[in-house]
Amino acid sequence: MEESSQDITLTGNSSEDDKRKRIRGYFVKPQLKWSIILLVLGLLTLGLKGFGLVLLIAGGIWFFLELKPTIDAPGDQKIDAWLADDIEHLKKRSLERLNLEESQLIRDSVVIRGPILWQVNGVPVKEIAWKKGKDGRIRFSVNDITVVHLTEHKLSSYQCNYNFIRGVPLNEQDDEFHYRDVVAISAKDESTNYTLPNGTLMKQAQLFKLTVSSGDSIKVVVNSADLVKFTGGNLAETGLDNAMKALRKVVGEKKI
């Protein structure tokens, strides 16, 4: 088992920086309170020898700068496409970390994506965000990404907390297990202890779990009634169903 908390941006150029700014604009709500206060004060003091005009101009600029990222923000489909692209980069990164070649894989790699709406190491609190799209689906700025590669004799996994706003994988972990050691592949409700942004405790969640005979496991939170209630929408596709089918099929065949 190998763990890492290294801060690495997947790509880095001007177009990538613009993309990250637009992703930030999609998730982060503008802070308009103080700019509106300046505008109101400016209106109230408009007759005080230009002082009110200065406040109006300052408040107007501040208001525009706060609102501009939201105006430039991409739509839901673009956000989904960009996250899918990032996950492809993570799949390549995971192969490198696990010292694997694509030619060694016996089928397409399995990806499971879980939501994160609680504090995790390395992610600023203000960047832990969510948004309900026009389609009613909830998208998250930080995701728990798990990639499982299936080779002839073992499965190799890579996990990270992915900061979508910055394009940075954090708290990375690699594992390798022989098929014969896998004792369970399940999706079930378990008790949890995560605190949501409003202070509510997320007491229970649905977890994907792959367990081996040593007691080690791969775990991903994929859903929670508390999370659905808090966000008021349905969670975006996690890949759970496809992962369960693929892993059970391959592990079952290899253990015969």
Q: How many domains does the chain have?
A: 1
The C-alpha atoms of residue 13 and residue 17 are separated, in whole angstroms, by 6
Query: What values do phi and psi take at 226, rounded to 5?
Result: -65, -40
Side chain identity, residue 88: E
- For residue 58, the tally of other CB atoms under 10 A from its CB is 15
Strands 182-195 and 201-212 turn out to be: antiparallel
Global pTM reads: 0.82
Side chain identity, residue 24: R
Whole-number pLDDT of residue 65: 62
**Residue 59: CA atoms inside 13 Å, Cβ hemisphere, count?**
19
Assign residue 62 a region (left: φ > 0; alpha: ψ between -120 and 50; beta: otherwise): alpha
β-bridge partners, 235? 138
Q: Is residue 61 part of a domain?
A: no
Q: Is residue 70 part of a domain?
A: no
Q: Are 128 and 206 in contact (CB under 8 A)?
A: no
Instruction: List per-residue pLDDT tens for the chain, 256 residues long.
Output: 555 544 455 655 668 888 998 999 899 776 656 667 766 776 777 767 677 777 767 766 765 566 565 666 788 999 999 999 999 999 999 999 999 999 999 999 999 999 999 999 999 999 999 999 999 999 999 999 999 999 999 999 999 999 999 999 999 999 999 999 999 999 999 999 999 999 999 999 999 999 999 999 999 999 999 999 999 999 988 999 999 999 999 999 987 6
Q: Is residue 33 part of a domain?
A: no
Q: Is residue 48 part of a domain?
A: no
- Nearest to residue 121, comparing CAs of 87, 157, 165, 172? 172
Q: Is residue 142 part of a domain?
A: yes
Whole-number pLDDT of residue 5: 47
The C-alpha atoms of residue 108 and residue 110 are separated, in whole angstroms, by 6
Distances (CA, A) of 117 to 161, 179, 226: 11, 33, 11
Q: Is residue 136 part of a domain?
A: yes
pLDDT tens for 191-230 read 999 999 999 999 999 999 999 999 999 999 999 999 999 9
Residue with tokens 């700025």: 141
Q: Which domain holds residue 144?
A: 2-9+101-254
Q: Is residue 68 part of a domain?
A: no
Q: Is residue 66 part of a domain?
A: no
Distances (CA, A) of 116 to 73, 136, 156: 21, 18, 23
